[in-house]
Amino acid sequence: MQAVECSKLVENVTVNILNRIHTDRFTKLVKRLAIFVSSSHLKAGFCLIVLSMAFFVPGISSLQPMDRDEPRFAQASKQMLESNDFVDIRFQGDSRYKKPVGIYWLQSAAVKTAEYLGAKDAQKTIFFYRIPSLLGAIAAVLITYWTALAFLPRQSAFYSAALMSGCILLGAEARLAKTDAVLLATVLVTMGTLARAWFNSIKPEVFEAPTQTNILIFWFVIGVSLLIKGPITLMIALFPVVILSYSERSARWMLVLQPKYGFIIVALVVLPWFLMIISKTGTAFFSEAVGKDMLGKVVSGQERHGAPFGTYFGIFWFSFWPVAPLAALAAPYIFRNRANDSVLFLLAWIIPSWIVFEIVPTKLPHYVLPLFPAVSIAIMLAVENHSLSLNKLWSRLIVLLVPLVPVIFLVAVPVGFWILDRVLPVFAIMFLSLSSLAGIFAWKYIKNAEIKPGIVLALASSLALTFAAYPFGVSQVNSINLSKRLANAVQASTCENPKIATTTYREPSLVFLTNTDLFMTDTQGAAQFMSESGCKIVFVGSLLEKEYVDLSAKSGVKQQLLQLVSGLNINSGRKVDIAVYVKLP
C-alpha cells in the first residue's frame, strides 16, 4: 500500500508541475536557455558533458557484469594485468582474437590508474573496466556537436548532440565494458573531418579547410579505430567518399586530407602491435579475427544472433528512443532535399552502411549505432528549416512513441519484478511514472509544432527512464544477479583464497568475479577436484547435485552446503538453482 500511495503522490506532484510548465513561459524559458548554452562553444561543451554524465553515470557501478560479451572483454583485460602480457589476448586458457587489442589496452590503463589511486580490489571491479566506454560515450556526444557544426548553426548543433545523449542504445553502451562507445567516437571524428573537407571543396568561400591539427587527428583516430574494432570505421567512411566522389566526378576533394602522409600515420599506430602479435602467434590472430569472426558474421548468424533483413529498421524505434519518432517526421524533408550537399553527405553516411548491416546475417542492436549521429543531424536540419511533417495523421500517431515506450515499461517492469523477485520496485515505478508524464507533454508540444520544447521534455522523459532502468531497475533484480551472488557466497565463506570449480553454470561473468583459473567441469571432475588438497569451493546445478554428492562421498570428502543460489540465467532464459559446497578442513 505504501508503494502505491507513494507512486500516486509522485504522479500528482508531477502532473501539477507539468501543467504549470505547459505554457508559453516554458517555451520562452527553453529559448532563453538554448541561447545561453549555445552562446559559446565552452558553454555548449560544458552543458553537454553535464547532460551526458546525467544520462550515462547512474547505475554504472551497481550493474553486474552483463553476460556474455562484457565480462569476456573485461576478463581478457584483467588477464593482461595479471600476466603483464599486453600483446596476447586471452580468456582463461583460450585465445580471444575476435577484436584487436585497443579496447583491452584502454581498460587495462583505466584499472591500473584506479589501482595507483588506491582503489581496493580494482581488478575485480567492473566499473573501472567501463570507464573507457563512459568516456567514449561522453566524447561521442561532444564530437556529435563538433560534427554537426559543419551542417548546422550552433544552437541546432547543440540539440543534435543532446539528442544523442538521450539515446537509449548509447546509454546502454556507455555502461558496458565493450568497444562500441569508443568506436562511435572514432567514427564521429572521421565523419566530421570528411564533412569539412567535402564542404570546403564545394564552397571554399564559406567553409574553411580542415586544419593541420584536424588532419593529424583524423588519420591518428583511423589508426586507433583499427585497433579498437578493425575496419568498421573505414567501411562507414568509405561509402561517403565513393558516393561524393562519384557525384562530383572527382576524388580531388580528398587531397586536402593529405592521404599519402595519412597512410604513414595509420601505419605507425597499428603496425607495432600487429607485428608483435604475428611474432607471438603467427597467423592465429588473423585467422580467428578475420576468418572466423568477421567473415563468419557475413556468412551466418553467429552465437544465435541471426536475424532477417529489416531487423535494424524494426528495432530502431526503440534503440534510438526518444529520437526515432522525430526521424520519421524529418524523412519527407530529407527525401525532397536529397540532392542538397548536406543531405547528400548524411544519406551517404547512413544508407549504404545500414544496408550492409541489414544484409549481414549476424545482427546486434549496437552495430548501427555509428549511424545514429547522422540521423540526429538530419532531424535538426529539418527543424532548422521548419520542415518536420506534422499535419498528417501518421505523423501525430508516430510521435505517440515518445510516451508509449515508458508507459510500456511502467506496466512491464512491476510485473517482471513481481514474477522474478516477488517485490515491487517503488523507485523504478516513480521514475517510470515521471517518464511517462514527461513523454505525454513532449508529444503535445511536438504535435503542436513546438519542437525544441518538445525535445527538452522528451530528453527529460529519457532521463527519468534512465534512472528507472539502471540504479533502480536491472541492478536491483536479485534473480538475474547470479554471478554476483555466487561470488558473494565465496567471499562469505571462511575459505581463504579458494580454488573454485563449477559444473552447469559457466557464464563469463562468473570467471571475472571469482578467479581466472575457475575450473569448468562435470560432476565427476568436480568431485575429483574437491578431493584434492587445499581450500576448495564447488558450484553444482541442482539437477546434478545428488550425483555430485554421491561421487564426493565415495572419495571420503568432507564438505558443507554453504548456500543455495536460485535465479534466472538471462542468456538461456532458464531458472537455475546452484548449490555452493565448501570443503571442510
Confidence grade of residue 286 (pLDDT, cut at 50, 70, 90): confident
Is 557's pLDDT higher than 90? no
For 42-86, what is the HEC assignment?
Answer: HHHHHHHHHHHHHHHCCCCCCCCCCCCHHHHHHHHHHHHHHHCCC
Confidence grade of residue 584 (pLDDT, cut at 50, 70, 90): confident
- Residue 285 shares a structural domain with residue 201: yes
Closest CA to 74 of 143, 175, 162, 152: 175
Q: Mean pLDDT for the chain?
A: 92
- Residue 440 shares a structural domain with residue 291: no
Is 9's pLDDT higher than 70? no
Q: What is the pLDDT of residue 306?
A: 66
The percentage of the chain sitting over the pLDDT mark of 70, rounded to a whole number, equals 93
Q: What is the pLDDT of residue 288?
A: 82
**Among 129, 150, 171, where does a domain finish?**
129
Mean pLDDT of 513-520: 95
- Residue 469 shares a structural domain with residue 492: no
- Residue 295 shares a structural domain with residue 174: yes
* Span 348-396, pLDDT tens digits: 999 999 999 999 998 999 999 999 999 999 999 999 999 999 888 888 8
The percentage of the chain sitting over the pLDDT mark of 90, rounded to a whole number, equals 81
- Residue 212 shares a structural domain with residue 320: yes
- Number of domains forming the structure of the chain: 4
Q: What is the pLDDT of residue 1?
A: 47
Is 66's pLDDT higher than 90? yes
- Residue 10 shares a structural domain with residue 79: no
**Among 384, 419, 446, where does a domain finish?**
384
- Residue 261 shares a structural domain with residue 311: yes
- Residue 340 shares a structural domain with residue 234: yes
- Residue 187 shares a structural domain with residue 220: yes
Closest CA to 248 of 202, 213, 214: 202
pTM for this structure?
0.93
Q: How many CB atoms lie within 10 A of CB 253?
A: 18
Is 251's pLDDT higher than 70? yes
C-alpha cell at position 343? 543531405
Q: Which domain holds residue 91?
A: 69-129
Instruction: Say how many residues make up the chain.
Output: 585
Q: What is the pLDDT of residue 10?
A: 54
- Residue 468 shares a structural domain with residue 514: no
* Span 76-117, pLDDT tens digits: 999 999 999 999 999 998 999 888 999 999 999 999 999 999
- Residue 135 shares a structural domain with residue 124: no
**Among 358, 384, 410, where does a domain finish?**
384
Confidence grade of residue 207 (pLDDT, cut at 50, 70, 90): confident
- Residue 134 shares a structural domain with residue 220: yes
